[in-house]
Structure 1
Amino acid sequence: MTITQLYYVLAVAEQQNFTKAAETCFVTQPTLSMQIQKLEDELEVLIFDRSKKPIELTEVGKKIVNQAKNIVNESYRIQDIVDQQKGFIGGEFRLGIIPTIMPTLLPMFLKAFIKKYPKIKLKIEELTTEEIISRIKEGHLDAAIAATPLENDYIKERVLYFEPFVGYIPKHHRLHNKSKLNTEDLEIDDMLLLEDGHCFRDGVINLCKAFKNHNDDQFQLESGSIETLIKLSDEGLGMTLLPYLHTLDLSEKAKQNLHYFIEPSPAREVSLLYHKSELKMQIVDAMHNVISGIIRGAIAFQSVNIVSPLPK
């Protein structure tokens, strides 16, 4: 039994196809198939039911795959130990970022991070929280940046910063003339929301639910981007809530529609996520230090009330 064979088994289990698995492993399909066959012969069991389309794991195959994930992850730790011993901070690092954080945070830290750690090859993807959890669990992401807490047994969270919610309220809206917002002022039925699947949407809904009963059918208008929510709000279709960093680049005219909350401000907790196996921790630490250092100069809020992204 070899680590390579287990790696091939995991690839087939994920792709449910030998040809696609071989492509992801950068080997020929006959080579991959032969190695998996050798493993099955050695164990005297079938890991895959090849009669099914797509290919499925047998019952014992499911148990083997679960154990193979642990073994392959632990094998990566050996190189990790060597890298840390040598003080080497480099190599490929796969990072996921949720859509409501990517456009504001990434430009703030990326250039500084690349300059400080030129040997790290960053691969960055914009992913939903659900996709991030799945990919970290399966070993396809080294780390991610998302709103927390997520309460997932496979994932560790290191807080980067707390980002307050800010009201964007156009003229002629009932709350436009209020100098400071209170959470009790919010009405979910005139709130413009992000589409389902965005954790920021869940945070806004949780904030409103805390004070008023509502029917989910009242949600009238949703969008896939914060920029669209702002434009819809300008058209008089309702108010919206923005993450604080999204307010920094607004035009002076748009900033006149910003309304801050009475402290403690409702806020989201933004964290660096990684697998509990703690691989590539030297890079995780480096990223945490760079982002934390930069963000301190952008967010000065101290008194905040964290709103969980978990749907209530």
Structure 2
Amino acid sequence: MTITQLQYVLAVAEHQNFTKAALKVFVTQPTLSMQIQKLEDELGVRIFDRSKKPIQLTETGRKIVNQARNIVNESDRIQDIVDQQKGFIGGTFRIGIIPTVMPTLLPMFLNNFIKKYPKVKLNIEELNTDTIIERLKEGHLDAAIAATPLEMENIKEQVLYYEPFVAYIPQSHRLSKLEKLKIEDLDIDDILLLEDGHCFKDGILNLCKTSKKSNDDHFQLESGSFETLVKLANEGLGMTLLPYLHTLDLNENEKKNLKMFQEPVPAREVSLIYNKSELKIHIIEALKNTISGVVKGAIAFQNVKIISPLSQNKSKKK
């Protein structure tokens, strides 16, 4: 049994196709098939059921793949140890970022990070939280930036910043005359929300569950972007809530419609998350330090109440 054979097994398990797997690991399809057959003969079991299309793992094969992933990860750790010892920060690093963070945070830190760590090649994807968790568990992402706490087994969270919720309320709205809002002022029936699948929407629903006016049964309108929500609010179709960093890009007239909450200000916790067995900790620390450094100047709020993105609201004070 070799590490290379286990890498081939993982590639086939991922792509459920020998030809695609061979392309992934840069060998010919006959070479890959021969090595997997050799491993199966040595073990005396079938890892893959080749009679099914696409190819499926056998029951024993699923257990072998889980163990193979651990073994390959641990073998990679040797190079990671050497890199850290030499102080080398480089190589490919795959990171996922949720849609409600990507457009504001990425421009803030990316250029600084590239200049400071030119040998790191960042592969960045915009993904929702569920997809991020799945890819972290499967080893297809090295880390991600998401709203937390997620309370996931084997997923570690390093807090980057706390981002307050800010209300966007047009002049015609019933709450426009208030200087600062209380959570009790919110009425879910006139809050414009993001579509399902966005954790920021889940945070708003959790926030409104503390209000007597909360009603989960129906909403007026949902959209895929904050920009659209602002436009809908400007048309008199309701109000919306925005993450603080998104408010910095509004024009001067739109900024007049912003309302802060009374302290403790409701906020979301944004963290760098990764598998506890992740190898590239030196790059994770470099990312964390870079992001924390640039965000610290943009967000100075201290007295905030963290609103969880989980379906059951588990808030904590900071």
Same fold (TM over 0.5): yes
In 2, distance between residues paired with 1:133 and 1:16? 21
Residue 192 of structure 1 aligns to a residue whose secondary structure is strand
Tell me the amino acid that sits aligned with residue 267 of structure 2.
A
Deviations along 1:148-188, one digit per CA (max 9) or x if unpaired, are: 01111121000000000000011111111110011111111
Distance 2:196 2:289 in 1: 32
Paired residue for 1:39?
Answer: 39
Counterpart of 2:173, as a letter, is: H
1:248 to 2:262 alignment: no
Distance 1:36 1:210 in 2: 56
Matches within 5 A, 1:139-288: 139-212=139-212, 214-288=214-288
Segment of structure 1 superposing worse, 212-221 or 245-254: 212-221
Instruction: Find the aligned partners of 2:183 and 2:4 in 1 and give their Cα distance.
Output: 55
Q: Which ranges in structure 1 are unaligned for 5 or more consecutive residues?
A: none
Count of residues in Structure 1 that have an aligned counterpart in Structure 2 = 312
Structure 2: unaligned runs, 5 residues or longer: 313-318
SS at match of 1:193: strand
1:35 partner letter = Q
Do 2:142 and 2:278's aligned partners in 1 also have CA atoms closer than 8 Å?
no
What residue is the counterpart of 1:51 in the other structure? 51
In the alignment, the residues of structure 1 paired with residue 230 and residue 41 of structure 2 have an alpha-carbon distance, to the nearest angstrom, of 61
Hey, what's the Cα distance between the residues in 2 that align with 1:212 and 1:34?
66
Structure 2 distance, partners of 1:211, 1:95, is 36
Contact 2:144 2:274 in 1 (8 A): yes
C-alpha separation in 1, matches of 2:65 and 2:193: 40
Q: Quote the Cα distance in structure 1 between the aligned partners of 2:216 and 2:179.
A: 29
User: Aligned partners of 2:69 and 2:207: how far apart in 1?
Assistant: 38
Other structure's SS at 1:292 match: helix
The Cα of 1:217 is off from its aligned counterpart by: 3.0
**TM-score when normalising by structure 2:** 0.96
More displaced stretch, 28-37 vs 155-164: 28-37
What does residue range 10-89 of structure 1 map to in structure 2 within 5 Å?
10-89=10-89
What amino acid maps onto 2:55 in structure 1? Answer: I
**Alignment partners' CA distance in 1, 2:27 and 2:187:** 57
What residue identity is the alignment partner of 1:255?
K
CA distance in 2, matches of 1:222, 1:27: 47
Partners of 1:27 and 1:236 lie apart in 2 by 60
SS at the partner of 1:212? coil
Report % sequence identity: 75
Q: Residues of 2 paired with 1:30 and 1:61: CA distance? A: 20
Give the TM-score normalised by structure 1: 0.98
Secondary structure at the counterpart of residue 217 of structure 2: helix
